A = this chain, B = another copy of it.
């Protein structure tokens, strides 16, 4: 079974519309993946995510392993069952979280030893362990356990880290293959047309183009169902990020899915799709929503600003989401100022709907060979708002 198919290539750029096949459904790309770290996309219910047509969410191996605990999720019949989500789940390997524990962790060739900050208990995460956790969670798309370097990153450090990540990628693949065989045996009463789980490799190498190239070629050599660019959007200038994407994507198999981790803004997504990226995830739409920042057709506004206290217009007159159809800015301002939870809910729902709509617009612009026109039209409007004082 193939797990990714290109439906249409853009005539103007490297952009493409594609489809990912997973055990929990098909996903049209380019697509944005809302982050649901702890088994919930913060403030929203699965029903609401479905209403705004979210097809895939992200879970986190590290967080869920500790809380509620992997045994609980196993007994609950997996993450889908536990959180009442029957669509696709991609899980982060936990690498990013473990490496973020800077002074609490020690890297060895075997894996990473660390103290869990909430109770000080000692743990060892290895590539095998990460795959095992992600499998137990029942992820549809698993990510290799890698080291995500920070920015700026010393060249030698980046080079050595890369070697480690490549070694771990091989071990992840091996573990995944063994468990996939087991998975197939478990399911041997199923028809053979069932979609399989996917394992994605991760390209690292900081902002060094030669290291990125080496990482890409050697990761492709190992062979994965899809390829992610990791270690970007970690503080480097945007031009450097775009350059890495531009130089790396052509080294990946065209017929595989390309995932840019941790991105991002509307403008970054347009740029990255243009360079051949299919998948995105980022906490920004949800986190910023909880901080009062809302995305509109005419740019970002912050509902905390005093001017919205008596602004009786909808948030975005060109948006047809629940919030924009039913509520006025003055009410959002009031809810936010009064510390009401409904503010966080409505803001989050709107920002995610904005992302879903943006990615659909991008898909259509590719299908209709109007990528540049739509990109310009969108960004001209999006940057037309006079900045708030």
Residues on A close to B: CB < 8 A?
Answer: 38-40, 42-47, 67-69, 71-72, 75-76, 82-84, 309-310, 312, 322, 326-328, 330-331, 333-335, 337-338, 340-342, 344-346
Contact = CB atoms under 8 A, between A and B. Distances in A.
A38 B335 CA distance: 8
A67 B328 contact: no
Given A76-B312, A322-B47, A345 B341 contact: yes
B340 A82 contact: no
A37 to B, nearest CB: 9
Contact of A75 (B39, B46, B310, B338): B310
A45 to B, nearest CB: 6
B341 A341 contact: yes
A30 to B, nearest CB: 28
Contacts of A344: 341
Contacts of A72: 309-310, 330, 334
Q: Which interface residue of A82, A312, A334, A337 has the most chain B CB atoms within 10 A?
A: A334
Contacts of A322: 45, 47
Interface residues of A, dominant DSSP: helix
Nearest to A331: B82
The copy count of this chain in the complex is: 2
A44 B327 CA distance: 14
B345 A40 contact: no
B342 A68 contact: no
B341 A68 contact: no
Contacts of A327: 84
Given A338-B38, A344-B341, A345-B45, A328 B76 contact: yes
A342 B45 contact: yes
Nearest to A69: B309
Contacts of A310: 71-72, 75
A285 to B, nearest CB: 16
A72 B333 CA distance: 11
Q: Which interface residue of A44, A76, A333 has the most chain B CB atoms within 10 A?
A: A76
Contacts of A331: 39, 68, 76, 82-84
A342 B44 contact: yes
Nearest to A335: B40
A338 B39 CA distance: 10
Given A68-B309, A330-B68, A330-B76, A42 B340 contact: yes
Contacts of A340: 38, 40, 42
Q: Which interface residue of A42, A47, A83, A331 has the most chain B CB atoms within 10 A?
A: A331
Q: Which interface residue of A84, A342, A345 has the most chain B CB atoms within 10 A?
A: A342
B84 A334 contact: no
A39 B341 CA distance: 12
Contacts of A76: 312, 328, 330-331
A210 to B, nearest CB: 42
Contacts of A346: 45
